[in-house]
Amino acid sequence: MTLTLGFLAQHLGAELRGDAHYQVDSVATLAQAQPHQLSFLSNSKYQSYLASCAAGVVILSPKDADAWQGNALIVPNPYLAYAKAASLLHPSIQVAEGIHPTANIDATAVIAADVCIAAGVVIGAEVHIGSGCVIGANTVIDRGVVLGQHCWIGPNVSILHHCVLGDDVMVESGSVIGSEGFGWAKDGERWVKVPQLGRVIIGDQVSIGANTCVDRGAIEDTVIESGVKLDNLIQVSHNVTIGANTAMAGSSGVAGSTRVGKRCTIAGMVGVAGHLTIADDVHITAMTLVSHSLTEAGVYSGNLPVEPNAQWRKNVARFRQLDAMAKRLKQLERSVHEQPADA
Amino acid sequence: MTLTLGFLAQHLGAELRGDAHYQVDSVATLAQAQPHQLSFLSNSKYQSYLASCAAGVVILSPKDADAWQGNALIVPNPYLAYAKAASLLHPSIQVAEGIHPTANIDATAVIAADVCIAAGVVIGAEVHIGSGCVIGANTVIDRGVVLGQHCWIGPNVSILHHCVLGDDVMVESGSVIGSEGFGWAKDGERWVKVPQLGRVIIGDQVSIGANTCVDRGAIEDTVIESGVKLDNLIQVSHNVTIGANTAMAGSSGVAGSTRVGKRCTIAGMVGVAGHLTIADDVHITAMTLVSHSLTEAGVYSGNLPVEPNAQWRKNVARFRQLDAMAKRLKQLERSVHEQPADA
Amino acid sequence: MTLTLGFLAQHLGAELRGDAHYQVDSVATLAQAQPHQLSFLSNSKYQSYLASCAAGVVILSPKDADAWQGNALIVPNPYLAYAKAASLLHPSIQVAEGIHPTANIDATAVIAADVCIAAGVVIGAEVHIGSGCVIGANTVIDRGVVLGQHCWIGPNVSILHHCVLGDDVMVESGSVIGSEGFGWAKDGERWVKVPQLGRVIIGDQVSIGANTCVDRGAIEDTVIESGVKLDNLIQVSHNVTIGANTAMAGSSGVAGSTRVGKRCTIAGMVGVAGHLTIADDVHITAMTLVSHSLTEAGVYSGNLPVEPNAQWRKNVARFRQLDAMAKRLKQLERSVHEQPADA
């Protein structure tokens, strides 16, 4: 796709500095970009790359604009403008056209006219698939599932019975929507399965990465609100609610019945325990265990940083003596401050 | 499914208080239940929900019975009774009927007469599938696998060559049984693959969640004993044994050759190192690293709890000084207690 | 496969002690081996198993050779020699022969003559598959993907558009190569997708376990260099480079744009943050959070060891007082050492 800078400036709401008729056809990094390409600078600490940059145009913010002499698209948020420009220059390509003859579609399924369904897809009874959806090869969409419009479902996905997806939902390869919640009642030494009768309800503009699992609810539903972005290999347990526009990074997880607020960011490998409430606008750093509710917005942590093993072993050994150390410290304080009386 | 309270009381071994002919047809939470529905109270801290509850009948324990005036099914373990009642009211529906014409079944496979095999399933040479099994769409069952009776295998599952499953085993979507163990021998800078020649042997009434991996053994087998319940996204490495009726929550993992005891509970994101022995009746809290064998029953932990980031940074900085602090404390104790001599 | 000890000695470069014409046909552990089997001892702490061992031949190192009276293959690295012997005695069996009639192969794909493609496989436009590759059932290989020679791809794998694999690459069931990087630009409360335009480039002799995800690059490529071994359930984020011959164990992850060096070992559940550089020959122990770059070779840790819960609760409570404790210690040191002046 070839676009003029004038078109891009208008589309991005950017101030154009340079030749409005100049054309670019793709994106590249500052270091790699050629004259036919667009690049961007969103973090001033990489400003030094501009000196030797050969890009045809650079998206940057007003404060970096003087550091670059070439064509510029000047915006308050260069990363956002880059995202939009890259989408224009590199439109995504559909993985399938029409309905492949090897797709197995139940006679009772209702499929909009312009849906693309790839080879080997299996679609169960009473499924509804909205206009503009694309379903990747060998994906399974179980009975009673509803997909809104313009959903993109990758290859080898499993969307299990009666789950409901809104519009513009993306689900990547290997993910499972509507797996059984982990609900077991003790019966002596044995576990008896608690039927998982709820569904997964997913809003609009939700994105779910690869090999992620969202369990169906036990009685009521598991809910992923609109605008949520989930990375790969995430575990969302039964009856969890993830609030609108929250983003969770790879290999994180939320245990059963926890409510995560809106606009939160949850970093990689974070674990949130069950039956908690996480407020809106909470940000949790990597590998933290969230073991109690967080009732106020803010940044929370719980990890320990890496150290050379030799140092680490010493500090860990001391950690195991920490309670004893605290008692010795208290005792010492008593000795020192009451010394006249003791002596 | 509509059932009378009299039938339910008998089936659950419950004391019925109220109308034995009253009928319910489904389950709901205390807050949502309607008069045609059954609900339950298993934790007394939610007793206040009873005041406004509209359920047709509530399962509860003797100590909560006086707090509810309506029809009641009184049992010692309401959650267990609820699990049984819900199974009766909501019988599960088969995902397939008979053998779908698009299933690829090797001519040497032995399939019981009443097995359901969905579209796109691939079954290899010399597989045996017992009576009453249900195999979800696009699942692959590799050569030589044996399934007992009444197994439920979800869509998009991979059960690899020569693994053996008992009766009533459930494997959910995306899981892989019999992946290669991670066995490599160093040859200078390179890694040489150690052939993984064992199988995975799974007992009866085992449940395996979505996107979980159970590696085959290196020489001998990996063993999942009867009654084990594994959640989603779990890693079970080669030559591990998981003892009967142990339950492991999501995103946990056990490294190679470790033996986990019976009736253990392992919470989410726990990691158990390799070549360890974990006793029976061990309970490990979330996100703990188990780096040595646990020889006695009990509760074990190793996580740190979440804190506001600003506080956390201070404590973490001190953690890195912990060994130095301990030495300073010791020195100070010496100074204080030996002061007369030092002075 | 039946082999003489003479043949094995020659193939392994081993010193043979015993009967060169003696034959073995399979491998077993020291405890289980029968006279027709080969076993090995790589760790002297298991030397006591030799006393009652019935193996036909044992691979061991010179320092253990005197502890065993039977046929012996003596080598400096018994585990490596065992790996090679086991590969000879147990050659792997192909999962498919030729191209199954139910495989869906785009007319523009270029498939070498001797490739095996199992049932239900879907191969997209302009895919190239090199000589000797084996593709497992229901796997999806998206448009433009290139596979070198002798790759082994398990069942239910997804290799997404335009990714490139070298020779002798193994990808196990459920893994996803080329999933979308987790790139989002903030637009007020909402997230706007940053197109992920790069590929995944995988070298030769790479092994990727089950249900692992390797994300494609945002602009440039994600790179897995030759000889890398990835276990199951691993997350490799966009624009990561994993250096040659590095091994990563199960459920670990590397966040975006991080460069991991060569010959590193990363244990289970380790998380490496984004935009870091990890030197060559770094070894990271289990469940460590790597939050800053590691510029020197060595062993690094960041976990805390498991403790009985009662002890743990005390130490954790003290951890939250650590900054206050450090200040009290400092104050006390001042009191003690400046006592004459204070008094």
When the pLDDT of each residue in chain B is averaged and rounded to a whole number, the result is: 95
- Report yes or no: B269 and B286 within 8 Å, Cβ to Cβ: yes
| Partners of C253 in beta bridges | C235, C271
10 Å Cβ neighbour count for C310? 11
* Neighbouring residues of C277: CB distance < 8 A, sequence distance ≥ 6: C258, C259, C261, C293, C294, C295
Secondary structure of residue B273 in the 3-state scheme: coil
**DSSP sequence for C127-193:** -EE-TT-EE-TT-EE-TT-EE-SS-EE-TT-EE-TT-EE-SS-EE-TT-EEEEPP--EEEETTEEEE
pLDDT at B341 over 50: no
C111 assigned to some structural domain: no
């009726």: which residue's tokens?
B245
For the segment B213-240, the average pLDDT, to the nearest whole number, is: 98
For the segment A29-55, the average pLDDT, to the nearest whole number, is: 96
As a whole number of angstroms, the distance between CA A176 and CA A227 comes to: 19
Task: Please tell me which of the candidates B120, B194, B305 has its beta carbon nearest to residue C316.
Answer: B305
Task: Please tell me which of the candidates B176, B291, B332 has its beta carbon nearest to residue C333.
Answer: B332
**Within this chain, do residues C191 and C254 fall inside the same structural domain, yes or no?**
yes
Secondary structure of residue C202 in the 3-state scheme: strand
Supply the pLDDT for residue A340: 54
* Neighbouring residues of A332: CB distance < 8 A, sequence distance ≥ 6: B329, B332, B333, B336, C332
The number of folded domains in chain C is 3
CATH of the domain at C162: 2.160.10.10
B94 assigned to some structural domain: no
- Helices B78-89/B5-12 angle, 10° precision: 130
Show the tokens assigned to A45.
């600490």
End-of-domain residue from the set C89, C114, C137: C89
Ordered mean pLDDT values, 10 residues apiece, chain C (343 residues): 97 98 97 97 94 97 96 98 97 77 97 96 98 97 98 98 98 98 96 97 98 97 98 98 98 98 98 98 97 97 92 90 89 78 43
Q: Using a CB-CB distance cutoff of 8 angstroms, which residues of chain C are in contact with residue A12?
A: none
Determine whether the interchain pair C325/A326 forms a contact, defined as Cβ–Cβ distance below 8 Å. yes
Supply the pLDDT for residue C312: 92
When the pLDDT of each residue in chain A is averaged and rounded to a whole number, the result is: 95
pLDDT at B94 over 80: no
Q: What angle do CA C60, C61, C62 make, to 5 degrees?
A: 125
pLDDT at A254 over 80: yes
Radius of gyration of chain B from Cα atoms?
Answer: 27
DSSP state of B217: P
A11 given a catalytic annotation: no
pLDDT in tens, C146-182: 999 999 999 999 999 999 999 999 999 999 999 999 9
Determine whether the interchain pair A298/B313 forms a contact, defined as Cβ–Cβ distance below 8 Å. no
Which amino acid would we find at residue B60? L
Supply the pLDDT for residue B342: 44
End-of-domain residue from the set A47, A67, A89: A89
Supply the pLDDT for residue A343: 40
Q: Is C189 exposed, middle or buried (0-12, 13-18, 19+ CB in 10 A)?
A: exposed
Give the lowest-confidence range in A59-73, A270-284, B90-104. B90-104
φ, ψ of residue A81 in degrees (nearest 5): -65, -40
Give the lowest-confidence range in B63-72, B98-107, C128-137, C332-341. C332-341
* Neighbouring residues of B108: CB distance < 8 A, sequence distance ≥ 6: B125, B126
Among residues A238, A283, A292, A337, which one is catalytic?
A238
pLDDT band of B335, cuts 50, 70, 90: confident
Distances (CA, A) of A333 to B336, C329, C330: 10, 9, 11
C271 assigned to some structural domain: yes
Task: Please identify every residue of B annotated as catalytic.
Answer: 238
ipTM (interface predicted TM): 0.95
**Within this chain, do residues C163 and C277 fall inside the same structural domain, yes or no?**
yes
**Within this chain, do residues A288 and A183 fall inside the same structural domain, yes or no?**
yes
pLDDT at B340 over 60: no
**Within this chain, do residues B198 and B271 fall inside the same structural domain, yes or no?**
yes
**Within this chain, do residues A248 and A324 fall inside the same structural domain, yes or no?**
no
B132 assigned to some structural domain: no
CATH of the domain at A41: 3.40.1390.10
End-of-domain residue from the set C44, C72, C89: C89
pLDDT at A187 over 80: yes
Supply the pLDDT for residue C17: 98
pLDDT in tens, B305-322: 899 999 999 988 888 888
- Report yes or no: C129 and C123 within 8 Å, Cβ to Cβ: yes
For a pLDDT cut of 70, what percent of chain A falls above it?
97
As a whole number of angstroms, the distance between CA C230 and CA C236 comes to: 10
Supply the pLDDT for residue C343: 40
Determine whether the interchain pair A235/B250 forms a contact, defined as Cβ–Cβ distance below 8 Å. yes
- Helices A322-337/A309-319 angle, 10° precision: 60
Domain with B66 in it: 3-89
Distance of alpha carbon C231 from the chain centroid: 4
Supply the pLDDT for residue C67: 96
Chains with 3 or more CB pairs under 8 A to chain C: A, B
**Within this chain, do residues A181 and A282 fall inside the same structural domain, yes or no?**
yes
DSSP state of A195: P
How many CA atoms within 13 Å lie on the side-chain side of C210? 31
pLDDT in tens, B150-180: 999 999 999 999 999 999 999 999 999 999 9
Supply the pLDDT for residue A97: 78
User: Which of C158, C189, C332 should one mutate to test binding to chain A, selecting the residue with the greatest count of A CBs within 10 A?
Assistant: C158
pLDDT band of B343, cuts 50, 70, 90: very low
A147 assigned to some structural domain: no
Supply the pLDDT for residue B97: 77
Determine whether the interchain pair A299/B320 forms a contact, defined as Cβ–Cβ distance below 8 Å. no
For the segment A280-296, the average pLDDT, to the nearest whole number, is: 97
As a whole number of angstroms, the distance between CA A250 and CA A268 comes to: 5
**What's the order of all strands across the beta sheet hosting C15-17?**
C15-17, C72-74, C57-60, C37-40, C26-27
Q: Using a CB-CB distance cutoff of 8 angstroms, which residues of chain A are in contact with residue C190?
A: 205, 227, 245
Which residue in chain B has the smallest CA separation from A317?
B323
**Within this chain, do residues C43 and C76 fall inside the same structural domain, yes or no?**
yes
* Neighbouring residues of C116: CB distance < 8 A, sequence distance ≥ 6: C94, C95, C96, C97, C98, C99, C133, C134, C135
- Report yes or no: C104 and A102 within 8 Å, Cβ to Cβ: yes
Which amino acid would we find at residue B263? R
Supply the pLDDT for residue A94: 60
Which amino acid would we find at residue B111? I
| Partners of B178 in beta bridges | none
Supply the pLDDT for residue C95: 55
Q: Is C338 exposed, middle or buried (0-12, 13-18, 19+ CB in 10 A)?
A: exposed
For the segment B274-296, the average pLDDT, to the nearest whole number, is: 97
Q: Using a CB-CB distance cutoff of 8 angstroms, which residues of chain C are in contact with residue B336?
A: 336
B65 assigned to some structural domain: yes
Reported for C113-118, long-range contacts at CB under 8 A and 24+ positions apart, including other chains, are C118/B122, C118/C155
**Within this chain, do residues B75 and B169 fall inside the same structural domain, yes or no?**
no
Supply the pLDDT for residue B64: 96
User: Which of A193, A237, A293, A319 should one mutate to test binding to chain B, selecting the residue with the greatest count of B CBs within 10 A?
Assistant: A193
Query: Taking Cα atoms as reference points, which of A259, A202, A199 lies closest to residue A230?
Result: A202
Distance of alpha carbon A168 from the chain centroid: 15
Supply the pLDDT for residue C96: 56
C255 assigned to some structural domain: yes
For the segment B17-42, the average pLDDT, to the nearest whole number, is: 97
**Within this chain, do residues A318 and A233 fall inside the same structural domain, yes or no?**
no
As a whole number of angstroms, the distance between CA C180 and CA C121 comes to: 22
pLDDT at B4 over 50: yes
10 Å Cβ neighbour count for A262? 18
Supply the pLDDT for residue C94: 59
C290 assigned to some structural domain: yes
Secondary structure of residue A182 in the 3-state scheme: coil
Task: Please identify every residue of C annotated as catalytic.
Answer: 238
């793709």: which residue's tokens?
A26
pLDDT in tens, C42-56: 999 999 999 999 999
């400092």: which residue's tokens?
C330
pLDDT band of A28, cuts 50, 70, 90: very high
- Helices A322-337/B322-337 angle, 10° precision: 30
- Report yes or no: A87 and A12 within 8 Å, Cβ to Cβ: no
Show the tokens assigned to B17.
């208080």
* Neighbouring residues of A114: CB distance < 8 A, sequence distance ≥ 6: A131, A132
Determine whether the interchain pair A185/B263 forms a contact, defined as Cβ–Cβ distance below 8 Å. no
**DSSP sequence for B274-328:** SS-EE-TTEEE-TT-EE-S-B-S-EEEE---B-EEHHHHHHHHHHHTTHHHHHHH
For the segment B257-281, the average pLDDT, to the nearest whole number, is: 98
**Within this chain, do residues C169 and C259 fall inside the same structural domain, yes or no?**
yes
Which amino acid would we find at residue A186? K
Query: Parallel, antiparallel, or unpaired for β B222-224 and B200-202?
Result: parallel
**Within this chain, do residues B262 and B189 fall inside the same structural domain, yes or no?**
yes
- Report yes or no: C201 and C164 within 8 Å, Cβ to Cβ: yes
Which residue in chain B has the smallest CA separation from A332?
B333
Which amino acid would we find at residue C37? Q
**Within this chain, do residues B249 and B317 fall inside the same structural domain, yes or no?**
no
